[in-house]
Homo-oligomer: A and B are copies of this chain.
């Protein structure tokens, strides 16, 4: 079973704690939003969203920093994902 996000939504899977330590990335929480690191699993088609053209800038496999509270958490076939808008993704780690 596959999650196909609509419009400018992106499905991400949080990086595991071990992986974060290995890459040396630690994220400090700000007052109003908890930044998170995750891997992009599925990318919506973009297109006209709320009357504005949106071009998708992230791709499957990208490691991204996002704002935790912006998305919705779902569990599909035992695995946890977050569905959020691309505009809630702040940056890609390269």
Contacts and interface: CB of A to CB of B under 8 A. Distances in A.
Interface of A: 1-7, 9, 11, 23-33, 35, 42, 47-48, 50-53, 55, 57-58, 65, 67, 69, 71-78, 80, 83, 86-87, 89-94
Given A53-B48, A53-B51, A94-B2, A7 B80 contact: no
B83 A91 contact: yes
Contacts of A73: 28-30, 35
Nearest to A71: B30
**How many copies of this kind of chain does the complex include?**
7
A87 B85 CA distance: 11
Given A4-B93, A26-B75, A27-B74, 7 more contacts: A6-B91, A9-B91, A24-B76, A25-B75, A30-B73, A32-B69, A35-B73
